[in-house]
Amino acid sequence: MSLLAELLGSRVVQLVVIGAALLGAISGVLGSFAVLRQQSLLGDTLSHAALPGVCLGFLIAGDRHLGLLLAGALVTGGLAAGTVLVITRCTRLKTDAALGIALSVYFAIGTVLLTVIQSRGDAGAAGLSTFLFGQAAAITRGDIQLMAVAGVLIAAVVLLLWKEFKLVTFDPESARAAGLPVMALQSALTLIVAVAVVVGLQLVGVILMVAMLIAPAAAARQWVGSLAGMVVLAGCLGALAGGSGALISATGRGLATGPVVVLLISAIVLVSLALAPGRGVIWRWRARRRLSRTLTRESRSSADLRRRHVPVRGLKR
C-alpha cells in the first residue's frame, strides 16, 4: 500500500496514470462505433499512417514541436482514410484490402522518413522512434491538457450526434434513405477516431494503438445490450486498463507503459469473451449442459410438456 501511495505521490506517475486513463476512456468510446461498424482495422490504418505525419511535422518544425508533430499525424491519417475511400470506391477491392494497402504504404513512407531523419543525426531526432511504441514517461502537463480538451470535444460531438451516429452505424442504407448525410457522418466518425489515435501516439505508439480502440469495445459488448451501455462501459474499461496499466508499469524498472496497458485490456477482453452472461463461451457451454441435463431428467419423468418452460434464453440458435 505504501508503494502505491509513493507511486501516486510522484508527479510523473500522476501524469502518466491520468493520461493513460484519459486515452483509455476516449478510445473506448470511439472504438465502440468502429467495432460495430466492422471497421476495427480502420484505427490500425489511421495510427500507422500517423507515422509519416509525425516525421513530416518534425522536418517542417526542425525539432520536436509536439503540436506540429500531431498536426502532421492528423493530416496523414486523414489522407490514409481518403486513400481507403478512393480505393473502395474506384476499384473492386474490398475495404479490408484497401485498409491493408493504406496501412502498409503509409507506414513504409513513415519508416523511410524516420530513417532519413535519423541518418542526418539531428538533435532530438532520436526521440521520434518513441512514437513507434510510445513513451509514457515523456508525457507533460501540456499533453494532458491537450488530451482533456480532445476528450471533451469528442464527447460533445458524440453526444450531439448520438442518434445519427447510431443509425449510421447500425444501418447506413436506411440512414441515407431517411435523408441523413451518411458520408459526412461516417467521415466525422473517422475523423474523431483519427484525433483519438493522434492523442494516443505518445502513450502507446502507432503499432499498439489499435488495441486501445478495439479491446475495450469488444469486452464491453459482451456485458451489455445497448449502444449507450456499450459506449459507457468501454470508456470505463479503457480508463481502468489505462490507469492501472500505467501504475503497474511504474512499479517495475523499464516496463513500457503502452504494452502493459494493452496486455491488461486484452486480459479484460479474454475474461469477457469467456464469462459474460449470455454471450461468454463458458457461460453458454454451462447453460447448454444445464439444459441438456434438465431435459434428460424431464423426459425420464415423462413430463414432456414442462420442457417448454425450460429457459433457453441466451442459447444462440
Partner 1 sequence: MGANLEQVTTHEPGLALHVEDLTVTYGQAPVLWDIDVDVPPGVMAAVIGPNGAGKSTLLKSVLGLLRPVAGHVRFFGRPVKEMRRQIAYAPQRHSVDWDFPTTAVDVVEMGLYGEIGWFRRPGRDHRARAMAALNEVEMADLAHRQISELSGGQQQRVFIARSLVQDAPLMILDEPTAGVDITTEGIILDLLKRLRDRGKTLIVVHHDLTNVEAHFDWLIMVNVQVVAQGPLKSVFTEDNLRATYGRRLTP
Q: Which residues bind partner 1 (CB under 8 A)?
A: 36, 38, 92, 160-164, 166-167, 169-171, 173-180, 221, 224-227, 229-230, 313-314, 316-317
CB of 36 to partner 1, least distance (A): 6
Here the cell at position 46 is: 489511421
Quick one: 167 or 263, whose CB is closer to partner 1?
A: 167
CB of 271 to partner 1, least distance (A): 19
Alpha carbon distance 159, 156 (integer Å): 5
Q: Is 70 exposed, middle or buried (0-12, 13-18, 19+ CB in 10 A)?
A: buried
Quick one: 309 or 316, whose CB is closer to partner 1?
A: 316
Query: For residues 245 and 259, is the Cβ–Cβ distance under 8 A?
Result: no
Quick one: 79 or 180, whose CB is closer to partner 1?
A: 180
CB of 225 to partner 1, least distance (A): 5
Query: For residues 131 and 202, is the Cβ–Cβ distance under 8 A?
Result: yes
**Nearest residue to 21 (alpha-carbon basis) of 213, 175, 235:** 235
CB of 118 to partner 1, least distance (A): 44
CB of 276 to partner 1, least distance (A): 12
Quick one: 91 or 299, whose CB is closer to partner 1?
A: 91
Kindly give, in sequence order, each residue whose CB lies less than 8 Å from that of residue 269, ignoring residues fewer than 6 positions away. 215, 218, 219
CB of 204 to partner 1, least distance (A): 26
Q: Which residues of 100-117 are buried (b: 16+ CB within 10 A; e: fewer)?
A: ebbbebbbebbbebbeeb
CB of 250 to partner 1, least distance (A): 35
Query: For residues 219 and 269, is the Cβ–Cβ distance under 8 A?
Result: yes
Alpha carbon distance 19, 35 (integer Å): 23
Quick one: 9 or 179, whose CB is closer to partner 1?
A: 179
Q: How many CA atoms lie within 13 A of 91 on its CB side?
A: 13
Alpha carbon distance 13, 19 (integer Å): 10
DSSP secondary structure code for residue 38 in this structure: T
Quick one: 127 or 229, whose CB is closer to partner 1?
A: 229
CB of 316 to partner 1, least distance (A): 8
At residue 316, what are phi and psi to the nearest 5 degrees? -70, 150
Give the Cβ contact number of residue 75 at 10 Å: 18
CB of 84 to partner 1, least distance (A): 20
Alpha carbon distance 101, 99 (integer Å): 5
Quick one: 153 or 160, whose CB is closer to partner 1?
A: 160
Quick one: 132 or 175, whose CB is closer to partner 1?
A: 175
Quick one: 300 or 316, whose CB is closer to partner 1?
A: 316
